[in-house]
Amino acid sequence: MDLALTDDQRAFRQAAREWLDATVVPHRRDWDRAEQVDTSIIRGLGEMGFLGLTIPEEYGGIGGDYLTYAMAMEELGRADSSVRGIVSVSNGLVGKPILGFGTEEQKQQWLRPIATGEALGCFGLTEAETGSDAGSLSTRAVPDGSDYIITGEKMFITNGTWADVCVVFARTGGPGPKGVSAFLVPTDSPGFMRTEIKGKLGLRGQATAQLAFDGVRVPASALLGQEGQGFTIAMTTLDKGRVSVAAGCVGIVQGCLEAAREYAVQRTQFGRPLAKFQLVQEMIADISVDADAARLLTWRAADLIERHLPFGVEASKAKLFASEAAVRAANLAVQVFGGYGYIDDYPVQKYLRDARVMTLYEGTSQIQKLLIGRAETGVSAFL
């Protein structure tokens, strides 16, 4: 892997940072307090290319490489993880499976609106009783003539109350992963209901919803991929999604580093800047090392994706390390700030709250360890 970035990659990263610093960072505290990101930002995300980074130009995207996408997710994570989640889910968890498994008709219908920000997508996999054990989901899609009738519920769905289309995973066959299929369901379909989840610890500005399907009728053309292929679609999509989450966590670590460094230089105690105290320097050094290590693991996984090589284990390693590093970095940054780190006049307490969920979704840290352990030993702990 060549770690030297191209001129285009450096330019995009710089433009992304400048735009986010001007458009998102000044509002993130208010959005966090209100538990609501200003949805007018979505069109701007599309205009900047965030929502179409890895979508080909023929479908309205900019056809960017995956390393550039990872850098974009890092800048979004540094600015506001609630906004990063909008992009990661709509572009990554919805756009990518449509691109990889969809028919030409499905691509034409959904990819351009997603890439431009005219439409958002959500990923309907998790249920109240099935998180890590996605192969045991209970939502059902029953054939009815040339249609399917979908009945069930989904939980903790990012973009759920904003989305225009939902990738819904439902059981069309027997028990287990082989009985799961995927469908593209417009959210204005009769019987599609959504309730926003409030009171979250972090990602408070992000729309997170409980979805209910009360006999939602969709045509057979809504099937994404083949019947019984849903679990494969979900797992393939989540592998790439983990790289996106890892990159967002790199952004949290980087944001913690910048905030702690600036505060330590400016804040004085006992007549000298905090940065002159060796134990403060130690905390900042630990954050700095974690930033570089998480970034390199993430870039390695992104590079493998770009070169069409196996990347699943590397994605798990990147997601595991970067998410745990984000929690460590935010804890240390709060410590550098002292009491001021505990209030939202400064960003580090929000970084801490946002970082905590990164160890949970798109595969918990424990699931990532099981996947890595299986790859190392050849023995599955899931059986």
Domain that residue 55 falls in = 7-120
Is residue 135 domain-shared with residue 51, that is, in the same domain?
A: no
Reported as a single tens digit per residue, the pLDDT across 117-174 is 999 999 999 999 888 888 899 999 999 999 999 999 999 999 999 999 999 999 999 9
Is residue 186 domain-shared with residue 291, that is, in the same domain?
A: no
What is the reported pLDDT for 382? 64
Spatial separation of the C-alpha atoms in residues 306 and 312, rounded to whole Å: 13
Residue where a domain stops, chosen among 173, 194, 228: 228
Spatial separation of the C-alpha atoms in residues 219 and 141, rounded to whole Å: 11
What is the rounded average pLDDT of the residues 225-230?
97
Any domain includes 217: yes
Is residue 239 domain-shared with residue 357, that is, in the same domain?
A: yes
Reported as a single tens digit per residue, the pLDDT across 296-344 is 999 999 999 999 999 999 999 999 999 999 999 999 999 999 999 999 9
What is the rounded average pLDDT of the residues 113-118?
96
What is the reported pLDDT for 3? 81
Contacts of 135 (CB under 8 A, 6+ apart): 176, 177, 180, 231
Any domain includes 383: no
Give me the catalytic one of 75, 227, 362, 376: 362
Residue where a domain stops, chosen among 198, 228, 258: 228
Is residue 196 domain-shared with residue 241, that is, in the same domain?
A: no
Match 């979505």 to its residue by tokens.
42
Reported as a single tens digit per residue, the pLDDT across 34-67 is 999 999 999 999 999 999 998 999 999 999 899 9
Is residue 113 domain-shared with residue 129, that is, in the same domain?
A: no
Match 């970067």 to its residue by tokens.
322
At 236, is the pLDDT very low, low, confident or very high (cuts 50, 70, 90)?
very high
What is the reported pLDDT for 313? 97
Contacts of 94 (CB under 8 A, 6+ apart): 110, 114, 121, 122, 123, 165, 167
Is residue 219 domain-shared with residue 269, that is, in the same domain?
A: no
The two tokens of residue 262 are 């600036």
Q: Which of 301, 270, 275 is nearest to 288 (CA)?
A: 275
What is the reported pLDDT for 50? 96
Any domain includes 58: yes
Any domain includes 73: yes
Q: What is the DSSP string of 77-110?
A: HHH-HHHHHHHIIIIIIIIHHHHHH--HHHHHHH
Is residue 187 domain-shared with residue 280, that is, in the same domain?
A: no
What is the reported pLDDT for 160? 96
Number of domain units in the chain = 3
Is residue 131 domain-shared with residue 87, that is, in the same domain?
A: no
Q: Which of 181, 193, 183, 166 is nearest to 232 (CA)?
A: 181
* Number of Cβ within a 10 Å radius of residue 248: 30
Q: Across all residues in the chain, what is the average pLDDT?
A: 96
The CATH number linked to 17 is 1.10.540.10
Residue 362 among the catalytic residues: yes
Which of 9-13, 336-340, 378-382 shows the lowest mean pLDDT across its residues?
Answer: 378-382
Any domain includes 290: yes
Is residue 34 domain-shared with residue 126, that is, in the same domain?
A: no
pLDDT at 2 over 80: no
At 241, is the pLDDT very low, low, confident or very high (cuts 50, 70, 90)?
very high
- What percent of the chain lies above the pLDDT cut of 70? 99
Reported as a single tens digit per residue, the pLDDT across 243-300 is 999 999 999 999 999 999 999 999 999 999 999 999 999 999 999 999 999 999 999 9
Is residue 34 domain-shared with residue 46, that is, in the same domain?
A: yes
What is the reported pLDDT for 356? 97
